[in-house]
């Protein structure tokens, strides 16, 4: 008897994904495709998402793809966001439909024009119905499946009658989405005080909270008009260098720390984080600035109460700065 020949198991082909930024809110998603090659120029694409057909931009054409596959796997992307300390999940829903044609671009421009009319109509209805809400922007989905209105309000708003009137006017599905001040800047923001386009509008997807401690540590002015962005909140760029400033500050001794230098003993009266300089005041009242590597900290013999008093004094000085 002849032995049956073993059949090789069929290999399942792994799906290929492309990274696309799409929609009015610049959503970032991995969308499935079957293309063998990815263009190496800035490319517009038509994709199918849960909202319908949308136009988007292919991200990372020059570095992120190999043989049509997005090179960074799920684990690598997840690790990137974990290392960044950001609680973020990217979308994997949707598919690539086609590369955008001239007709697609023309249709997009046409939708942008009629969107202005739709916003004006929605504002008129809100005024007539006396609703406590402010329309910020609108998005007419490329495939015509729906119109999304972005609005701001202090609390919850009963806009059911508004949706019915808009649906009757435009004979399509209407969606209302409430947003905050940062999202408003993302939709409408232009050039910031640095001369660049708002980060949230140009590239920023998500950022950890920014607080006043970062402004104080970076010696920025605490004038609200100078440290606030388009959205009226603290500028996002204060977050960019916070980790570097924090690491450099750990290398510096606290104020009033007793130290020994080549010129004698003294105490720290001031520090410079970026330059890593400390200002030492000697017993005769003379002050000298020198690199932190050129000082030697004298072990403290303070009591626990003395340490608490120094910490309180240092905190008060930091708050004054």
SS3 sequence of 86-146: CCCCCECCCEEEEECCHHHHHHHHHHHHHHHHHHHHHHHHHHHHCCCCEEEEEEECCCCCE
Provide mean pLDDT across the span 232-254.
90
Whether 84 shows a pLDDT value over 70: the answer reads: no
Q: Are strands 146-152 and 173-178 parallel, antiparallel or unpaired?
A: parallel
Whether 11 shows a pLDDT value over 50: the answer reads: no
Whether 97 shows a pLDDT value over 50: the answer reads: yes
Provide mean pLDDT across the span 228-239.
88
Band of residue 185 on the pLDDT scale cut at 50, 70, 90: confident
Band of residue 189 on the pLDDT scale cut at 50, 70, 90: confident
Provide mean pLDDT across the span 207-212.
81
Residues whose CB falls within 8 Å of the CB of residue 155, separated by 6 or more in sequence, listed in order: 132
- pLDDT attached to residue 320: 45
- pLDDT attached to residue 268: 92
State how far the Cα of 137 lies from the Cα of 119, in Å rounded to an integer.
Answer: 7
- pLDDT attached to residue 248: 93
Band of residue 302 on the pLDDT scale cut at 50, 70, 90: low
Contact 273, 248 (CB under 8 A): yes
Whether 230 shows a pLDDT value over 80: the answer reads: yes
- CA dihedral 158→164→167→172, nearest 10 degrees, is 80
Residue 197, sorted as left (phi over 0), alpha (psi -120 to 50) or beta, turns out to be beta
- pLDDT attached to residue 321: 42
Whether 110 shows a pLDDT value over 50: the answer reads: yes
> Mean pLDDT in the chain?
83
Provide mean pLDDT across the span 314-320.
51
Exposure string for 291-305, b = 16+ CB within 10 A, e = fewer? ebeebeeeeeeeeee
- pLDDT attached to residue 96: 92
Domain architecture of the chain: domains with CATH: 16-100 (no CATH), 104-179 (3.30.300), 183-247 (no CATH), 252-320 (2.30.30.60)
Q: Which pair of structure tokens corresponds to residue 81?
A: 């966001």
Band of residue 306 on the pLDDT scale cut at 50, 70, 90: low
State how far the Cα of 221 lies from the Cα of 240, in Å rounded to an integer.
Answer: 17
Whether 305 shows a pLDDT value over 60: the answer reads: no
pLDDT tens figures, 34-47:
888 888 888 999 99
* The residue to which tokens 């930091």 are assigned: 318
Contact 133, 151 (CB under 8 A): yes
Whether 178 shows a pLDDT value over 90: the answer reads: yes
């Amino acid at each position: 008897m002849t032995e049956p020949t073993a059949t090789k198991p069929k290999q399942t082909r792994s799906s290929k994904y492309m990274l696309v930024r799409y929609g009015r809110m610049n959503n970032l998603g991995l969308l499935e495709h079957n293309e063998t090659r990815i263009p190496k120029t800035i490319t517009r694409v038509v994709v199918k998402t849960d909202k319908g057909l949308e136009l988007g931009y292919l991200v990372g054409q020059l570095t992120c793809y190999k043989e049509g596959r997005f090179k960074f796997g799920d684990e690598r992307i997840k690790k990137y966001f974990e290392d960044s300390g950001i609680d973020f999940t990217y979308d994997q829903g949707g598919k690539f439909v086609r590369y955008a044609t001239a007709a697609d671009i023309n249709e997009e421009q046409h939708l942008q024009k009629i969107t202005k009319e739709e916003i004006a109509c929605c504002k008129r209805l809100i005024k007539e119905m006396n609703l406590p809400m402010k329309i910020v922007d609108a998005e007419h989905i490329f495939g015509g499946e729906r119109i999304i209105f972005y609005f701001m309000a202090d609390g919850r708003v009963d806009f059911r009658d508004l949706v019915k009137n808009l649906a009757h006017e435009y004979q399509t599905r209407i969606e209302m989405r409430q947003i905050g001040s940062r999202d408003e800047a993302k939709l409408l923001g232009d050039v910031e005080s640095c001369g660049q386009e708002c980060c949230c509008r140009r590239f920023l997807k998500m950022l950890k909270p920014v607080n006043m401690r970062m402004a104080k540590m970076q010696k920025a002015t605490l004038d609200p008009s100078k440290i606030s962005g388009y959205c009226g909140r603290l500028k996002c760029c204060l977050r960019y260098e916070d980790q570097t400033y924090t690491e450099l500050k750990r290398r510096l001794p606290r104020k009033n720390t007793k130290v020994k230098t080549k010129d004698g003993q003294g105490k720290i009266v001031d520090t410079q984080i970026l330059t890593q300089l400390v200002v030492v005041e000697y017993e005769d009242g003379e002050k000298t600035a020198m690199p932190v590597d050129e000082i030697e900290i004298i072990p403290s013999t303070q009591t626990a109460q003395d340490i608490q008093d120094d910490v309180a004094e240092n905190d008060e000085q930091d708050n004054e700065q």
